A and B are shown apart, each in its own frame.
Chain A
């Protein structure tokens, strides 16, 4: 008698647990959208904005030896929080999970060197850009390459999967490419003289040539320009509009030139001007 009763109870409990799991799986569509946890009013009410930044990409977003988050993007993040009148909470991301962090409501805003591309535009909303990058070409100072025509028929070093590789394979077919898997390999190849020049994102090359003074970024920008912009979750109009206004306001105040001078200039060396990176004051 008693044993039967226990067995029945166990059966009921397990069935109930299985049912809950199934229901939880099905009932997903009703939530979200109705209330937006990342709208400007919601952020103000909470008193904190959660911003995704890099933790390992100097000089844009990194952690210095005192354990503080610093960099060009981080400084902008502090300014954004200040202008919203809220505290800032940083969430560290890497290149692969910037989109997911937004879409799963882990962060309100991404300021992580996020380049605008058509594919990304389909999954997140970009605000106005605050920085521009394009492909640059670095070469030895004693044999500088300053024009693309100098590269025809010569070996140019690139890393696979970069915008530099795409640009040269589609638009500069006369240039021979030597492709490598990592940044370390490509710079070693250049040092060993296996190509006349090396092409990569210009901001990255500026920083590298600063610590390798025998080389110079002879061509600062070729090919299409890409822009780096803040991103919000798709459909978050409230925060998107506010961020657009904020970027316009800060651009007018030359805030980004100032940000450039304090955060990026020490890494980029003298030959780079703020106007190579920062967008013009319209």
Chain B
């Protein structure tokens, strides 16, 4: 075996294809996070209302998406729903939809938790100066809850990015799927190629996720410093 496995990465268009796969991964995660966070903020605010049926429905929604594993959700939306109700979407759009709903559910809990932990006197002061409910949320609760939400949200973002690796199960051409194609295509010529391909994928995920988690840590630290003087 004169040739080393690393050359498998640079043969033909392999490297470009891996980057293309990474783009699919990043795109799905980014779109899912943007829309999921918006949805989560709306749902989170609604969950602090004192309306019973509304809270029950939202709670059920949250528990459903939190308890059911993402793999099962993907299979449910990709294979079972189309069979039952003629609901058909291409795999990557469907993956984005499932992730938006999932992020929305997780985010709603983060937002709710942050909103109810804003000190009570802040709300009362707001009421005292005659703010209505919308103004109370707009000027008092939401701005103050943001700093509490950010680290947990970034944490959620890194989880979403990592979870995209299961998308290959519903045939999304993400970076893992392309990696496997390359490994299998070169199994006979480069038996050690598997190490290099997965090594590169590891590096890709690390380069995306590590700055995020570093940023989360820094924000958290800064918040604590601020809070404790």
| A58 interface residue (CB < 8 Å to B) | yes
Q: Cβ of A27 and Cβ of B51 under 8 Å apart?
A: no
The 8 A CB mask of B68-99 against A (1 = contact, 0 = none) is 00000000001110111110100000000000
| A172 interface residue (CB < 8 Å to B) | no
Whole-angstrom CA separation of A14 from B53 in the bound complex: 7
Q: A7-B51, A104-B79 are in contact. Are A56 and B185 (CB under 8 A)?
A: yes
Q: Cβ of B185 and Cβ of A65 under 8 Å apart?
A: yes
| A66 interface residue (CB < 8 Å to B) | yes
CB distance from A177 to the nearest CB of B (A): 26
| B116 interface residue (CB < 8 Å to A) | no
Whole-angstrom CA separation of A2 from B182 in the bound complex: 63
B11-19, B107-115, B149-157, B198-206 - interface stretch: B11-19
Q: Cβ of B85 and Cβ of A24 under 8 Å apart?
A: yes
| A57 interface residue (CB < 8 Å to B) | yes
Q: Cβ of B181 and Cβ of A55 under 8 Å apart?
A: yes
Which of B105-126 touch A at CB < 8 Å? none
User: Which residue on A lies nearest to B75, using beta carbons?
Assistant: A100
Q: Cβ of B83 and Cβ of A18 under 8 Å apart?
A: no
Q: Which residues of A sit under 8 angstroms from B34, Cβ to Cβ? A: none
Q: Which residues of B sit under 8 angstroms from A91, Cβ to Cβ? A: 171
Which of A48-64 touch B at CB < 8 Å? 55-58, 62-64
Whole-angstrom CA separation of A11 from B177 in the bound complex: 45
| A93 interface residue (CB < 8 Å to B) | yes
Q: Which residues of B sit under 8 angstroms from A32, Cβ to Cβ? A: 83, 86
Q: Cβ of A56 and Cβ of B181 under 8 Å apart?
A: yes
Q: Which residues of B sit under 8 angstroms from A211, Cβ to Cβ? A: 188
New A-B pairs, 18, CB < 8 Å, besides A58-B184, A104-B80: A10-B54, A14-B53, A18-B53, A18-B57, A28-B84, A31-B86, A56-B181, A56-B183, A56-B184, A58-B188, A63-B181, A63-B185, A66-B13, A93-B171, A97-B171, A104-B82, A105-B88, A207-B188
Mark A residues whose CB is within 8 Å of B. 7, 10-11, 14-15, 17-18, 24, 27-28, 31-32, 55-58, 62-67, 91-93, 97, 100-101, 103-106, 207, 211
3 smallest CB-CB distances across A and B, nearest first, come from: A65-B12, A56-B184, A28-B84
